[in-house]
């Protein structure tokens, strides 16, 4: 199922804001998703189109948070939490999801849940993790179910029922994963953008975390014929050299056989 | 219990890269409500190994000792496997040395026999295996190649000692853990039938003809002993081979029954074969490793994929018959050549496979002392083992490199293995040619 999506950001200065602040920046994000269910091509890894977030229809809709950062280097995503002026007035939790780690071999996806009452400005979540050691989740996880992924068939889905105490300030869940290496046809046209991870769904007030972009390790897309010719040359070198070594001794054996056959005739003489 | 499966899966991946560092999960719940039945180990794409290995090593990965690093018991199992492999390599080397000395003495080449006795090739091979950085890297990376190597060495030791049940167990388990040791049945049968490595068989035929022609009534005792020795060295004895085939059937049935019991609620043996041997034969996982097939099948077009799969897997089978015809008097060396070829051409190679054949190479240190390009091969192995992590880091982590950087080291590594196998076969054939020449000269001297 091919997927076309686009994002549009619109930032304007605003002197009148919903939470009563005088000056602020009004951030409007529009995500357009076009699904084409007619094609029968197998989906990409970790792609679950049924759980895509709905579009933002207007500037008055504050059900979605926009805590993300644009990255200049497109090969990796260092998303950091930012102070967002669009604080939800209804939901008791503020949810943000980001990808951690560097390099294209393995990484982690973390979901940060923060209560509205104790909201503070934290710019680096890794710093936050260093301050508090990860606590055992047995106190908070009531139930958990994991559907393991199968390559190019089904995504990895984990569902948890969490039970947090009322005085909880913030909680961070992180899951470590290994990144895959795909066939050349399975990459999207803009490979350096990375792969789309659908939003995590938090069922408390039915709001969503952000979309994520996870970059993968990429082959050189201009190299199919070079790789095929070099690899086949290596195999031909192996086969030819080994067969030549095995054949070379046979000639000496034939010479010895001829030499041996001449001895009885001499003895007969 | 559900998330603990993920810890298991990381240990038992079917392949391991040179930079196989295990990520530490930040949480591991223990007192969750267990599901009604545990999910299949083959659900998803994480595990493609043996269910018997999973039931043996899986509980060790989740058992933790306070104050110790994780997976300590699992690492200890791999260390024990490496040490036992080294001891078996040493014992097999002793048997090879005794057989070689006996063969050379029966041919009358006493000087070569004394030279061969003086070199402790078994100890040398065991030390090469244990001190090899590839063995250490494979053990630190928690690769299961240590156990596969143990089974291969167990089958070779059992065949060298003429212990058919032990050889059958080793061969069956090695074939079960990874598909490629199946081709070792030819050297194992030759070892059981003809005995350990010996000079070319036609030298014994010439000696038999000579003894029959020059039979004298004096010193009949040594004559009788020599005839018995020649008879033992020349005839293929079918009794150990029949025992071996019987025990192979027995162990295979036992292993299949155990696997059937393990996976009967997850699709049965058909699902097991599809997830283990099918995964190996179809080369589904294209994660980078030190071989060349990952990049080849990442770049080749889908239309030609099945063709190249057949060609590359057939390349292992194509060289079985010529090597067996040419090296059937040296079955242990034939097994070494098969191990090098399969570790070079398998779908998911690792440095643990290199550790095995570099250790076995020490067993033939005397015969291969005239091998060419030895220093070039040593420098090449050192260079590739240093450059491969650098290229991997440049491509994956820093982003300044390219996939072709890492593929270049994989190509160089494959070329090094080709040179190693070609030059070792050439040196062994030259050694046999030298023995033939010396014996022919000795015969000429006796006749004149």
What is the pLDDT tens value at each position of chain B, 448 positions in all?
233 333 333 333 333 333 333 333 333 333 333 444 566 778 777 788 888 888 888 777 777 677 677 778 888 889 999 999 999 999 998 888 888 888 877 777 767 666 666 678 888 888 889 999 999 988 888 888 899 999 999 999 999 888 889 999 999 999 999 889 999 999 988 888 887 777 777 666 666 666 655 555 444 455 555 555 555 556 778 888 898 999 999 999 999 998 888 888 888 788 888 888 888 888 888 888 888 888 888 888 888 889 999 988 888 888 898 888 888 888 889 999 999 999 999 989 988 899 999 999 888 888 888 888 889 999 999 999 999 999 988 888 888 888 888 999 999 999 999 999 999 999 998 888 888 888 888 778 877 6
| A171 and A247 both lie in a single domain | no
The domain total for chain A is 2
Q: For residues B29 and A5, which has the higher predicted lDDT (pLDDT)?
A: A5
Taking alpha carbons only, the member of A110, A107, A106 closest to residue A129 is: A110
| B271 and B372 both lie in a single domain | yes
Q: Is A197 inside a domain boundary?
A: yes
What is d(CA B363, CA B368) in angstroms, rounded to the nearest whole number? 9
- Residue A237 near chain B (CB below 8 Å): yes
A110: chain B residues, CB-CB within 8 Å? none
CB-CB under 8 Å, A227 with B296: yes
CB-CB under 8 Å, B396 with A103: yes
> What pLDDT was estimated at residue B415?
93
| B230 and B364 both lie in a single domain | yes
Number of A/B CB contacts below 8 angstroms equals: 153
Residue position matching structure tokens 């390219």: B402
CB-CB under 8 Å, B29 with A138: yes
Three-state DSSP class for residue A269: coil
Q: Is A214 inside a domain boundary?
A: yes
> What pLDDT was estimated at residue A182?
79
Three-state DSSP class for residue A157: strand
CB-CB under 8 Å, B23 with A184: no
Q: Is B13 inside a domain boundary?
A: yes
Distance from CA of A23 to the nearest CA of B (A): 41
CB-CB under 8 Å, A136 with B27: yes
- Indicate the Cα dihedral angle A40, A44, A48, A49, nearest 10°: -50
- Residue B288 near chain A (CB below 8 Å): yes
> What pLDDT was estimated at residue B342?
92
Chain B, 15-44: which have a CB under 8 Å from a chain A CB? Answer: 19, 23-27, 29-33, 35, 39, 43-44
| B249 and B177 both lie in a single domain | yes
> What pLDDT was estimated at residue A137?
53
> What pLDDT was estimated at residue A97?
76
Nearest to A183 among B286, B292, B415 (CB): B286
Confidence of residue A254 (pLDDT cuts 50, 70, 90): low
> What pLDDT was estimated at residue B284?
83
| B269 and B377 both lie in a single domain | yes
| A162 and A174 both lie in a single domain | yes
B396: chain A residues, CB-CB within 8 Å? 103-105, 217
Taking alpha carbons only, the member of B345, B327, B346, B347 closest to residue B335 is: B327
CA distances from B391 to A231, B349, B351, B394, B412 (A): 19, 18, 16, 5, 13
| A176 and A68 both lie in a single domain | yes
CB-CB under 8 Å, A245 with B425: yes
| B79 and B43 both lie in a single domain | no
| A212 and A247 both lie in a single domain | no
| B77 and B26 both lie in a single domain | no
Q: Is B67 inside a domain boundary?
A: no
CA distances from B371 to B40, B337, B366 (A): 50, 15, 10
Q: For residues B59 and A213, which has the higher predicted lDDT (pLDDT)?
A: B59
- Residue A218 near chain B (CB below 8 Å): yes
| A210 and A225 both lie in a single domain | no
| Residue A71, pLDDT above cutoff 70 | no
A149: chain B residues, CB-CB within 8 Å? 44-45
B294: chain A residues, CB-CB within 8 Å? 181
A254: chain B residues, CB-CB within 8 Å? none
A174: chain B residues, CB-CB within 8 Å? 26
What is d(CA B35, CA B3) in angstroms, rounded to the nearest whole number? 12
| A204 and A252 both lie in a single domain | no
Contact A223, B299 (CB under 8 A): yes
Confidence of residue A245 (pLDDT cuts 50, 70, 90): confident
| Residue A3, pLDDT above cutoff 50 | no
| B27 and B78 both lie in a single domain | no
> What pLDDT was estimated at residue B176?
92
Distance from CA of B243 to the nearest CA of A (A): 32
Q: For residues A87 and B50, which has the higher predicted lDDT (pLDDT)?
A: B50
| A187 and A230 both lie in a single domain | no
Q: Is A41 inside a domain boundary?
A: no
Chain B, 339-358: which have a CB under 8 Å from a chain A CB? Answer: 344
- What number of other Cβ atoms are within 10 A of residue B380's Cβ? 18
- Residue B387 near chain A (CB below 8 Å): no
Q: Is A43 inside a domain boundary?
A: no
The domain total for chain B is 2
| B41 and B79 both lie in a single domain | no
A182: chain B residues, CB-CB within 8 Å? 286, 298
Domain of residue B26, residue span: 5-50
CB-CB under 8 Å, A181 with B32: no
Domain of residue A233, residue span: 221-256
> What pLDDT was estimated at residue A86?
42
Q: Is B359 inside a domain boundary?
A: yes
B398: chain A residues, CB-CB within 8 Å? 103
| Residue A225, pLDDT above cutoff 50 | yes
- What number of other Cβ atoms are within 10 A of residue A44's Cβ? 17
Nearest to B396 among A105, A180, A246 (CB): A105
> What pLDDT was estimated at residue B226?
56
| A193 and A72 both lie in a single domain | yes
CB-CB under 8 Å, A219 with B295: yes
Residue in chain B lying closest to A157 (CA): B44
| A125 and A110 both lie in a single domain | yes
Name the DSSP class of A173.
E
> What pLDDT was estimated at residue A267?
34
Distance from CA of B221 to the nearest CA of A (A): 31
| A63 and A191 both lie in a single domain | yes
> What pLDDT was estimated at residue B191?
86
Nearest to B286 among A182, A228, A243 (CB): A182
Burial of residue B41, with CB atoms counted within 10 A of its CB: 0-12 exposed, 13-18 middle, 19 or more buried: buried
Q: Is B59 inside a domain boundary?
A: no
| A206 and A227 both lie in a single domain | no
| B42 and B76 both lie in a single domain | no
> What pLDDT was estimated at residue A60?
32
Q: Is A250 inside a domain boundary?
A: yes
- Residue A104 near chain B (CB below 8 Å): yes
| B33 and B96 both lie in a single domain | no
Contact B404, A223 (CB under 8 A): yes
CA angle (B187 as vertex; B227, B294 as ends), nearest 5: 160
Nearest to B422 among A136, A218, A245 (CB): A245
| B214 and B323 both lie in a single domain | yes
Q: Is B61 inside a domain boundary?
A: no
B31: chain A residues, CB-CB within 8 Å? 138
- Residue A89 near chain B (CB below 8 Å): no
Q: Is B442 inside a domain boundary?
A: yes
% of chain A surpassing 70 pLDDT: 39
Confidence of residue A43 (pLDDT cuts 50, 70, 90): very low
| B83 and B22 both lie in a single domain | no
Q: Is B35 inside a domain boundary?
A: yes
What distance separates the 2 farthest-apart alpha carbons in chain B?
90
- Residue B366 near chain A (CB below 8 Å): no
Q: Is A95 inside a domain boundary?
A: yes
> What pLDDT was estimated at residue A77?
36
CA angle (B411 as vertex; B407, B414 as ends), nearest 5: 135
CA distances from B323 to A217, B22, B142, B188, B335 (A): 40, 39, 34, 14, 10
What is d(CA A46, CA A182) in angstroms, rounded to the nearest whole number? 12
Torsional class of A97: left (φ above 0), alpha (ψ -120 to 50), beta (otherwise) = beta
Q: Is B346 inside a domain boundary?
A: yes
> What pLDDT was estimated at residue B265?
80
CB-CB under 8 Å, B418 with A238: yes
| Pairing outcome for strands A195-197 and A212-214 | antiparallel
Half-sphere exposure of B363 (CA within 13 A, CB side): 35
| A69 and A172 both lie in a single domain | yes
Residue in chain A lying closest to B30 (CA): A138
């Amino acid at each position: 199922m091919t997927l076309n999506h686009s994002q549009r950001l619109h930032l304007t200065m605003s002197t009148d804001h919903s939470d009563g602040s005088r000056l602020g920046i009004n951030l409007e994000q529009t995500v357009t998703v076009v699904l084409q269910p007619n094609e029968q091509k197998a989906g990409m890894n970790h792609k679950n189109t049924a759980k895509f977030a709905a579009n933002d229809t207007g500037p008055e809709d504050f059900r979605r948070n926009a805590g993300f950062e644009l990255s200049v280097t497109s090969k990796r995503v260092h998303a950091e939490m930012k102070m967002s002026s669009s604080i939800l007035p209804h939901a008791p939790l503020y949810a943000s999801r980001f990808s951690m780690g560097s390099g294209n071999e393995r990484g982690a996806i973390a979901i940060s849940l923060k209560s509205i009452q104790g909201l503070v400005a934290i710019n680096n979540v890794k710093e936050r993790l260093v301050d508090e050691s990860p606590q055992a989740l047995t106190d908070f996880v009531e139930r958990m179910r994991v559907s393991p992924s199968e390559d190019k068939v089904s995504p990895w889905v984990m569902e948890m029922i969490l039970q947090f105490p009322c005085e909880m300030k913030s909680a961070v869940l992180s899951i470590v994963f290994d990144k895959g290496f795909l066939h050349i046809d399975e990459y999207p046209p803009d490979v350096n953008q990375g792969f789309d991870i659908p939003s995590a769904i938090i069922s408390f007030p039915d709001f969503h975390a952000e979309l994520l972009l996870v970059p993968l390790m990429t082959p050189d897309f201009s190299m199919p014929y070079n790789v095929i010719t070099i690899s086949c040359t290596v195999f031909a070198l192996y086969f030819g050299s080994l067969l030549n070594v095995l054949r070379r001794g046979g000639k000496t054996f034939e010479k010895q056989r001829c030499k041996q056959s001449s001895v009885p005739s001499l003895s007969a003489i | 219990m559900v998330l603990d499966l993920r810890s298991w899966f990381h240990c038992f991946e079917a392949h391991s890269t040179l930079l196989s560092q295990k990520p530490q999960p930040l949480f591991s719940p223990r007192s969750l409500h267990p599901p009604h039945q545990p999910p299949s180990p083959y659900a998803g794409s994480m595990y493609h190994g043996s269910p018997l290995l999973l039931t043996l090593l899986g509980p060790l990965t989740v058992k933790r000792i306070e104050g110790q690093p994780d997976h300590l018991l699992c690492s200890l199992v791999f260390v024990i496997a490496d040490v036992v492999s080294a001891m078996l390599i040493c014992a097999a080397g002793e048997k090879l040395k005794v057989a070689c000395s006996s063969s050379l003495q029966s041919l009358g080449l006493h000087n070569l026999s004394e030279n061969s006795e003086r070199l402790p090739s078994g100890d040398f091979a065991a030390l090469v295996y244990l001190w090899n950085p590839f063995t250490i890297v494979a053990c630190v990376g928690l690769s299961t190649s240590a156990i596969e190597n143990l089974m291969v060495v167990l089958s070779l030791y059992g065949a060298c000692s003429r212990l058919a049940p032990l050889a059958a167990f080793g061969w069956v388990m090695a074939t079960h853990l990874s598909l490629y040791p199946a081709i070792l049945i030819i050297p194992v049968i030759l070892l059981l039938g003809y005995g350990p490595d010996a000079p070319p068989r036609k030298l014994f035929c010439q000696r038999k003809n000579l003894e029959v022609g020059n039979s004298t009534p004096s010193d009949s005792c040594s004559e009788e002993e020599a005839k018995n020795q020649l008879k033992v060295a020349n005839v293929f004895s079918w009794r150990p081979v029949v025992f071996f085939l019987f025990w192979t059937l027995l162990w295979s049935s036992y292993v299949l029954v155990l696997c059937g019991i393990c996976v009967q609620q997850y699709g049965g043996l058909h699902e097991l074969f599809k997830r283990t041997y099918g995964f190996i034969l179809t080369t589904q996982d294209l994660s980078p490793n030190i071989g060349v097939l990952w990049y080849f099948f990442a770049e080749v077009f889908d239309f030609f994929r099945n063709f190249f799969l057949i060609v590359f897997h057939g390349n292992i089978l194509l060289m079985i018959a010529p090597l067996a015809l040419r090296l059937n008097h040296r079955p242990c060396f034939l097994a070494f050549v098969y191990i090098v070829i399969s570790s070079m051409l398998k779908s998911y190679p690792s440095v643990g496979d290199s550790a095995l054949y570099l250790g076995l190479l020490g067993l033939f240190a005397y015969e291969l002392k005239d091998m060419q390009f030895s220093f070039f091969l040593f420098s090449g192995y050192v260079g590739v083992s240093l450059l491969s992590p650098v290229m991997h880091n440049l491509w994956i982590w820093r982003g300044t490199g390219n996939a072709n950087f890492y593929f270049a080291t994989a190509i160089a590594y494959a070329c090094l293995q080709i040179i190693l196998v070609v030059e070792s076969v050439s040196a062994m054939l030259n050694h046999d040619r030298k023995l033939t020449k010396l014996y022919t000269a000795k015969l000429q001297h006796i006749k004149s």
